[in-house]
Each structure stands twice: as C-alpha cells, then as structure tokens.
Amino acid sequence: MTEQQLKKVFLTLVEAGQAIMDVYESNEFNAELKSDNSPVTRADKASSKIINQNLKIIFPDFPILDEENLIPEFEERQKWEQYFLLDPLDGTKEFIKQNGEFCINLALMRKNAPEEGWIYQPLIETGWYCALGEGIYEFNKRGEAKKIEASTKRSDAIRIATSRSFFKPREAELIEKIKQYYRVEIKHCGSSKKQIEMVLGNADMYLKAGPCSEWDTAPGQLMVEEFGGAVLRHDTFETLRYNRQEMINPYFVMLNDRLNTPEFIAFMKKIIHE
C-alpha cells in the first residue's frame, strides 16, 4: 500500500467516524434488530456507505466483506487472495447506550490472516494502524500518523479485558479458575477497545467464550501479535484464522507478550480443557 493510499484510508475512517458522531449526537439512532438479533442503527449504515464507496475508488480490485452488507457464499470468497474485512460500527450496543466505547474495524486480509489493520475510535478522533512486521502507528483526524512503541507497563496482577455487554458465564468461570493461581484485575470494555487496551499496555489478556464475528477481531489480532502476543482458539490452541465457512469465531484467548509464554499457555490449556 502506498503512502498516498494509506492516508486516504485514514481520512476515510475519519469521515465515517464523523458520520457516526453526527448520529450519536442527534439521539436519533433508528435502531433495528437484524436477523441474528444484533442491533443496527443509521450510524452503522452511514459508516458502511462511506467506507465502501471510498475503498472501491482507492482499491477497485479488492472485494469488501462488510458486516452490514450481504456476505458472499463461501464458495466465492474462499478463492479471494486479498480482501477487506469491515465492521463499520463495532460496539453498536455501546453506541446505543452512549458510553463512547465503539470503534470502526477494518482489516486487509490475505487469504486467512490479516496483513494490515485499522481500529478507529470516533469519540476521541484517534485510530491505530498496523502492517504486518512494520509496527503500529497512531493516527489523528487529519490523517497524521506516528509510530508507537510496545508498552513496558507491567502489573503484579493479570489484567483481563472482557466484554461490557457480552460477558458470558463461561468467561466468569475461567476467570475464577485463574484467580486460584494469580491476582486478577478485570477491565470491562466495549468493542475493539479491549484489544487497543492490550496494545497500549493497559490489559494483558482478552478472554472470549461467547459468540463474536471475524470482523470483530482481525485488526486487533494483527496488532496484538505485532507486539509479541498471540490469539489462540480454546479448542485446538492454534492461531485464530479467518474466512472460514462459518464466520462466527471459535472461543479464543488473546495474550500479550507478557503472557505469551509456553508455561502460561500450558496453564490456560489446562484450565480450559479440564
């Protein structure tokens, strides 16, 4: 991706973020329930329209797999070499609650893994961008970016980020098991803010034992891995991969570099499988 193309993507996310904030500040969300009972608002739709229109101009050859649009059949998309994976408003429940914890998630995928990723928080007009092997950058509403360094923050507790609106009994059960061996601090966050908290050194783990979709995790996974972490499935403890026939993620755990050790992974495998 050229520097000019990258700047256009930054500004596209800023533009979509402003459209989201216009709805957020209007209090006229026009919220509806989709077929899977997840909510959608006119902010989701406005963001989706802007990002799709702009990406099709900047990258006319790349398909866009967007939560708010019709998902192509697996037989078609499994042939894709590269494509964009988009959640135009991640954290719609948090948006409706007006707690500010919502993001835009975008990833450029190569087959079954992210190779570039963007997470943008409209409320604070700040985003993060990662290219595989090239580090992580923070960008502002003018599309200006600066490289950030991996955090050296450490705690004597394991700081676990969990969903604010989707905290599940299985997650609570696993956390209780971890507490038998480690001191634990819980950070409830909405949307991909959980993954940004890990990137910024404010959380060590994101534990997910409930449903979420591929567009919820792809850019955050790339960023966590870029700073030495891992994203592992509960069932096989293999790295989480994408563009599966079923686009709901298996249960997984994200670990930062501090916890991405053979010893801690063996511990997690033990408590999950026992």
What CATH number has the domain bearing residue 95? 3.30.540.10
234 lies in the same domain as 141 = no
Residue 254's domain is classified under what CATH number?
3.40.190.80
Distance, CA of 121 to CA of 68 (rounded, Å): 19
Same domain as 39, residue 138: yes
Are 153 and 227 in contact by the 8 Å Cβ rule? The answer is no
For residue 243 the two structure tokens come to 């563009």
d(CA 127, CA 137): 8
Q: What percent of the chain has pLDDT over 90?
A: 82
- Do 132 and 34 share a domain, yes or no? yes
**Based on the structure, what is the number of domains in the chain?**
2
pLDDT per residue over 70-101, tens digit each?
Answer: 999 999 999 999 999 999 999 988 988 898 89
140 and 14 in a single domain? The answer is yes
Asked if 191 contacts 88 with a C-beta cutoff of 8 angstroms, the reply is no
pLDDT category at 36 given cuts 50, 70, 90 is low
At residue 165, the pLDDT reads 67
Q: Is residue 200 part of a domain?
A: yes
Query: Token pair of 172, please?
Result: 């609570």
- Whether the per-residue pLDDT at 264 is higher than 70: the answer is yes
Counting beta carbons within 10 angstroms of the beta carbon of residue 130, is it exposed (0 to 12), middle (13 to 18) or buried (19 or more)?
A: buried
Instruction: Please give the pLDDT value at position 13.
Output: 98
Contacts of 274 (CB under 8 A, 6+ apart): none
> Is residue 251 situated within a structural domain?
yes
* Structural domain containing residue 193: 158-273
Which domain-ending residue is among 107, 127, 148?
Answer: 148
pLDDT in tens, 39-78: 788 999 999 999 999 999 999 999 999 999 999 999 999 9
Clarify whether residues 111 and 209 are in a common domain.
no
Q: Are 86 and 106 in contact (CB under 8 A)?
A: yes
Q: Are residues 69 and 169 in the same domain?
A: no
SS3 content of the chain, % helix, strand, coil (to 5): 35, 25, 40
Q: What is the mean pLDDT of residues 16-45?
A: 85
Q: Are residues 112 and 183 in the same domain?
A: no
Residue 51 tokens read as 């990002």
| 133 and 186 in a common domain | no
CA distances from 103 to 39, 118, 183 (A): 15, 10, 30
For residue 54, the SS3 value is helix
Q: Are residues 168 and 267 in the same domain?
A: yes
Take residue 197 and report the two structure tokens written for it. 């908290």
Of 89, 117, 148, which residue is a domain's last?
Answer: 148
Per residue in 221-245, pLDDT (tens digit) is 999 999 999 999 999 999 999 999 9
**What is the rounded CA–CA span in Å between residue 191 and residue 56?**
26
Task: Give Dmax (Cα) for the chain.
Answer: 53
Predicted TM-score (pTM) of the model is: 0.94
pLDDT given at position 258 = 95
User: Are 140 and 12 in the same domain?
Assistant: yes
The answer on 165 and 118 residing in a single domain is: no
Q: Kindly state whether residue 47 falls inside one of the protein's structural domains.
A: yes
Does 196 lie in the same domain as 100?
Answer: no
> What is the per-residue pLDDT across 115-168, written as a single tens digit (0 to 9) for each?
999 999 999 999 999 999 999 999 999 999 999 999 988 889 999 998 876 678
Q: Which pair of tokens denotes residue 226? A: 């870029």
Whether 153 is in a domain gets the answer: no
Q: Categorize the per-residue pLDDT at 35 as very low, low, confident or very high, splitting at 50, 70 and 90.
A: low
At residue 37 the predicted structure's pLDDT band, cuts being 50, 70 and 90, is: low
Please report the sign of the dihedral spanned by the C-alpha atoms of residue 189, residue 192, residue 195, residue 199. Answer: negative
Across 251-264, average pLDDT: 97
